[in-house]
Amino acid sequence: MSNQWSALADKALAGQVLERTEAHAVLHAPMEDTLTLLDAAFRVRRAHWGTRVSLHVLQNAKLGACPEDCGFCSQSSKYQSPGGEAPMQTVGELVDGARQAHAARAKRFCMVTATRGPSQRDLDTICDAARQIKAEGMDLELCASLGLLTEAKAQRLAESGVDRFNHNLETSQRHFDQIVSTHSWADRVETVRLAKRAGMDTCVGGIVGLGEGDDDLLDLAFALRELDVDSVPVNFLDARPGTPLAGRPLVEPGYALRALCMFRLVHPRTDLRVAGGREVTLRALQAMALYPANSLFTQGYLTTGGATPQADHQMIRDAGFELELGSGEVVPADPDAVAHLSPARRGASLPVVGGA
């Protein structure tokens, strides 16, 4: 049975696309195959990413009061979720956040706003912050996640030094309208295309555990391959009180690992990130996610803490992996060097998955 997974790794390494039935089988691999499946995914990961792990830091630049109605999100103004609200941060606050991400030895710093799309004023702030962060010469790549873009806004971001734009598709096209009604899956795809056309890398993922079926997760994985995105963050729903998805259970950890392996085998070369919800979903199995995934968020998510940089450095070092910095330089993880960093999050202390 285990040769089945090794054969899929060979196929992915040979540049062939997995059949849908093969990707489906990965999601349903028997529990006793977990290590052989992880080994197959790791062979593919190692061929393209070695044992390097990149850390990403999110900054909630504008919290809550979002007019959109994404059913998983505590930042939507449509729901009574106690996530809080806070206005757009200043350029100085954003630059300070980047300095902290740099101190945590992150590769990327991502500025996120809860919004349908950026206003001109918010865009000015993000662009000014991007220019200042770049001018300081920090060894850090810059991302932004600001909702829907226009062509002109995408160009402004790219020109101001934003390297990558995040805009998740969240789930399959078929399942999307059960989760969001204020914009469409096609709207999201269009923004990804605009970001790409403006010359930015694209970071586009989704959330496992929204009540989707296997076919939805497979549709998402193959749609992202079709879109040729550079980075795929895989979130796991940690249902927020007050949202329509409140009370939905956490994804079972074995399924979460199989989902990550499926994404790796369908996206052999992609920057694959184990994202929001990893701490509560994978619990003691978190280090195992490093075998399919090559990156993770440290310092928590948009409104709450997750693992600290110290804990993540420790996990990376203990598992025998190394850190990749913004420049591509590879250095050992060093929990002692980042022990002083205590992330301050905005808003209520509730974990949030996803963002704009």
Q: Which residues are catalytic?
A: 66, 70, 73, 110, 143, 203, 273
- What is the smallest separation between the CB atom of 183 and ligand SF4, expressed in angstroms? 8
Residue 223 one-letter amino acid: A
Long-range contact list for 92-98, CB < 8 A, 24+ apart? 94/59, 94/61, 94/125, 94/126, 94/129, 94/133, 95/129, 95/132, 95/133, 95/136, 97/57, 97/59, 98/59, 98/129, 98/133, 98/136, 98/138, 98/140, 98/142
Q: In which region does residue 311 sit, left (phi positive, over 0), alpha (psi from -120 to 50) or beta (all else)? A: alpha
Give CA angle at 218 (301, 115), nearest 5°: 35
Residue placing its CB nearer to ligand SF4 in the complex, 147 or 306: 147
* CA distance linking residue 139 with residue 105, whole number of Å: 9
Interface residue list for ligand SF4 (CB under 6 A): 66, 68, 70, 73, 75-76, 114, 147, 354-356
- What is the smallest separation between the CB atom of 143 and ligand SF4, expressed in angstroms? 15
Residue placing its CB nearer to ligand SF4 in the complex, 126 or 261: 126
- What is the smallest separation between the CB atom of 30 and ligand SF4, expressed in angstroms? 35
* Signed CA dihedral, 167, 171, 174, 180: sign only: negative
Residue placing its CB nearer to ligand SF4 in the complex, 170 or 216: 170
Give CA angle at 226 (43, 27), nearest 5°: 50
- What is the smallest separation between the CB atom of 118 and ligand SF4, expressed in angstroms? 12
Residue placing its CB nearer to ligand SF4 in the complex, 59 or 75: 75
Residue placing its CB nearer to ligand SF4 in the complex, 325 or 352: 352
Residue placing its CB nearer to ligand SF4 in the complex, 118 or 306: 118
- What is the smallest separation between the CB atom of 150 and ligand SF4, expressed in angstroms? 16
* CA distance linking residue 208 with residue 37, whole number of Å: 19
- What is the smallest separation between the CB atom of 325 and ligand SF4, expressed in angstroms? 29
Q: At what angle do helices 151-159 and 185-197 cross, to 10 degrees?
A: 40
